[in-house]
Amino acid sequence: MVINNQRSRLSRIKWNHFANYIVIALSTTLFSILSFSGNLKISTIYLLEKISISILLALSLSLVVGFLGELSLGHAGFMCVGAYLGGKTAALLEPILGNGILTFIIAIAVGGAVAAVCGFVIGLPALRLKGDYLAIVTLAFGEIVKSIFQNTSADTFGGALGLKTPRYNREYLFIYAFIIVIVALAVIQNLMRSKHGRAITAIRDNEIAACATGINVTKYKLIVFLVSSLFAGIAGVLYSYSNFQVQSAKFGYNYSIEILVMVVLGGMGNINGSIIAATLITFLNLKLATVLTGDLAVLQNLLYSLLLILIVIYNNAPALSRVRGKYNLKSLIAKVKKPKVDPAIQNDDKAYWANIPTKIEMDEIISVDATPQDPYKADPPKKEK
Amino acid sequence: MADYLMETKDLGISFGGLKAVQALNLSIKKNQLYGLVGPNGAGKTTVFNMLTGVYKPTFGNFYLDGENLTGKNQETINRKGIARTFQNIRLFNNMTVIRNVMVGLSSRPEYKCSILTSVLRLPHHFRIEREMREKAKELLRIFDLEDDRNNLSCNLPYGKQRKLEIARAMATNPKLLLLDEPAAGMNPNETTELMNTIRLIRDKFDMTILLIEHDMKFVSGLCDELTVLNFGTVLAQGETRQVLNDPNVIKAYIGE
């Protein structure tokens, strides 16, 4: 009885809710084994770090764009704040604490916290502004942050030359980064799969109704902006560690758009989609940059944009809906694992009309040449095709 | 004052020079079905918007259970016990039916669960979720929507969407329910069904209901008392039958 109970509890766990953690954890383990055994090229490790940063950014932005339904074009700004503040903290702490895990954690905390404060400040106008207007405010924020750091003196934040930040052991950094990704994923996923997440999606779907249903819209909007910018800031700190140099020119409008592209391609409000899109886009970007060199470098942006257009068309064009229905992940998974249908288990609730034979089929089943054909019986109605 | 659940005292609002509603005095007893009728543009929905905090009244006050709620924001008023539905249905379209109701439940104090508890997935979170789900199912059963609970709310037929909106409002555990044209766009069968549902709510939850409606059969069959508004002022007030036979009211509706 006890075993039975335990089994039912185990089977009650929705494993597909954890699929993304498992995939990320397994691939991280695989890559770290490869890395420790010395089979990983530096360029691959660099790519992994970039991918983890992109996933973190896409996850955090999808909270604002996908779940709250507000357009934010200044996500790179939060990242910039995190990168500079975290990088500076690490640079200051390096002589005292050494370049160890402690410095890393403190830098992450500082970068994330300052970015979160910025997110809170940007969240305040978000309560009054809607749609395009908020997008412009966030856009302006990103540009302001960028130019502030650009115009600092050389001994504070490095100015236009950029801030030098400590190097971190390449073998470990991407593992830490992916651990942070898993933590962020857990926080965002758990938040969205709770009553608070329902409230946030309710605000997206219909703000007036959400207000009238007693949801504290102010609170939830601020929380979303805060959490989102916190993780963007942490991604910035990771970036500073991965690049060991922070240049504010990198965090321009283009970068914000690139993050937005990841979220949109992954499907608004689809966490796993954002992760996949972030991985693919980062991979594509870096590969194109390494493959197309010399004269062909011009083609880089062209190819990238072309691919984006094709992906968007494939995902959304009504004319391609048939193709999409045939070749997608769901049908692929369904092909691989056969649905287990046990008629004994199938209770009434799950009984599916298509599985129940119609009257005519029933007659055919029963009349296995034993009963003579009734000559007066009307022809069975033709089945519609 | 204690006799009345809801009272408004000289309630009014003006938008610039336009006085949309003036000197409205409503007194609604507990467990009463109260109707607010009037021609188009009379200011009925404006009254609802004032009572739910969408607009801040320019003049006067309103009280729920003797507590002055004038000028409070929407969320506070909802938590104090006024819930509403909308003239044009406003559901959370991309959510399933049961989740719509669970959103309504989430502001109740008995389902309090901090964000940290949810993020850390403490046992309290799971207990609250389970309780909310059960409660939502219970509510949906009353409104005969239990079988549709896993459908997206935008895929429901119109009549059921109306019901769901009422169910969501009821989920916030109100003392007073405001229904803005609940029967608009319904066929006669659906209207009769809705009348039964509204009576059921009143009896089962001991609810006080204030409703706006144009369908006079609906109003006369349901409401105990009426207030007729015309151009923002009260035209007639009192028992339903009396009010509907008032020559002034007939004049306002169908002319001389």
The pLDDT tens digits for A196-250 are 999 999 999 999 999 999 999 999 999 999 999 999 999 999 999 998 889 888 8
Residue B159 lies in a domain: yes
Cβ-based contacts under 8 A for chains A and B:
96
SS3 B21: strand
Query: Could you report the per-residue pLDDT of A77-122, keeping only the tens digit for each?
Result: 999 999 999 999 999 998 888 888 899 999 999 999 999 999 999 8
Query: Could you report the per-residue pLDDT of B192-210, keeping only the tens digit for each?
Result: 989 999 999 999 899 999 9
Say how far apart CA A17 and CA A27 lie, in whole Å: 17
Half-sphere exposure of A191 (CA within 13 A, CB side): 25
Say how far apart CA B57 and CA A126 lie, in whole Å: 26
pLDDT given for residue B36 in this prediction:
92
Q: Are residues B136 and B152 in the same domain?
A: yes
Residue B14 lies in a domain: yes
DSSP A317-370: -GGGHHHHHHSSHHHHHHHHS-----TTT--GGG--GGGSPPHHHHHHHH-SSS
Q: Are residues B182 and B130 in the same domain?
A: no
Residue B55 lies in a domain: yes
Mean pLDDT across B88-108: 92
Say how far apart CA B214 and CA B39 lie, in whole Å: 8
Backbone angles phi, psi at A248, to 5 degrees: -65, -20
pLDDT given for residue A365 in this prediction:
53
pLDDT band at B141 (very low <50, low <70, confident <90, very high): very high
Q: How far apart are the first and last CA of chain B?
A: 39
Q: Are residues B162 and B178 in the same domain?
A: no
Global confidence as pTM: 0.84
Please indicate if any CB of chain A lies within 8 Å of the CB of B130.
no
Helix locations, B85-225, DSSP H: 97-105, 115-119, 123-142, 158-171, 188-205, 216-222
Q: Domain range for residue B136?
A: 94-172
Q: Are residues B183 and B204 in the same domain?
A: yes
Query: Could you report the per-residue pLDDT of A40-73, keeping only the tens digit for each?
Result: 888 899 999 999 999 999 999 999 999 999 999 9
Chain B residues within an 8 Å CB radius of A223:
115
pLDDT given for residue A84 in this prediction:
94
- Please count the structural domains in chain B: 2
Among chain A residues, the shortest Cα distance to B90 is held by A209
Higher pLDDT, A297 or A243: A243
User: Does residue A190 register a pLDDT over 90?
Assistant: yes
Please indicate if any CB of chain A lies within 8 Å of the CB of B116.
no
Q: Which residue among A195, A196, A205 sits closest to B93, beta carbon to beta carbon?
A: A205
Q: Are residues B70 and B32 in the same domain?
A: yes
Q: What is the ipTM of this complex?
A: 0.90
The DSSP bridge pattern shows strands B33-37 and B208-212 to be parallel
**Listed residues B138, B172, B206: the one ending a domain:** B172
**Listed residues B125, B141, B172: the one ending a domain:** B172
- d(CA A53, nearest CA chain B) in Å: 22
SS3 letters across B25-61: CCEEECCCEEEEECCCCCCHHHHHHHHCCCCCCCEEE
The DSSP bridge pattern shows strands B67-68 and B59-64 to be antiparallel
Chain A residues within an 8 Å CB radius of B86:
208-209, 212
From B226, B224, B221, select the one nearest B188 (Cα to Cα). B221
pLDDT given for residue A294 in this prediction:
76
DSSP A16-54: GGTHHHHHHHHHHHHHHHHHHTT-S-HHHHHHHHHHHHH
CB contact under 8 A, A212 and B92: no
User: Does residue A348 register a pLDDT over 50?
Assistant: no
pLDDT given for residue A5 in this prediction:
53
SS3 A57: helix
CB contact under 8 A, B103 and A199: yes
Please indicate if any CB of chain A lies within 8 Å of the CB of B121.
yes
Say how far apart CA B63 and CA A232 lie, in whole Å: 46
- d(CA B49, nearest CA chain A) in Å: 10
CB contact under 8 A, B103 and A198: yes
pLDDT band at B247 (very low <50, low <70, confident <90, very high): confident
pLDDT given for residue A289 in this prediction:
83
Structural domains in chain A, sorted by start: 20-280 (1.10.3470)
What tokens appear for B68 in the block?
């002055």
Per-window interface: B 188-207 vs A, CB < 8 A: none
Among chain B residues, the shortest Cα distance to A216 is held by B75
User: Does residue B118 register a pLDDT over 80?
Assistant: yes
Q: Are residues B112 and B182 in the same domain?
A: no
Q: Are residues B103 and B124 in the same domain?
A: yes
Q: Which range among A178-182, B23-27, B229-233 has the greatest average pLDDT?
A: A178-182
pLDDT given for residue A363 in this prediction:
55
pLDDT given for residue B16 in this prediction:
87
**Listed residues B129, B152, B172: the one ending a domain:** B172
Q: Are residues B188 and B253 in the same domain?
A: yes
Mean pLDDT across B45-56: 92
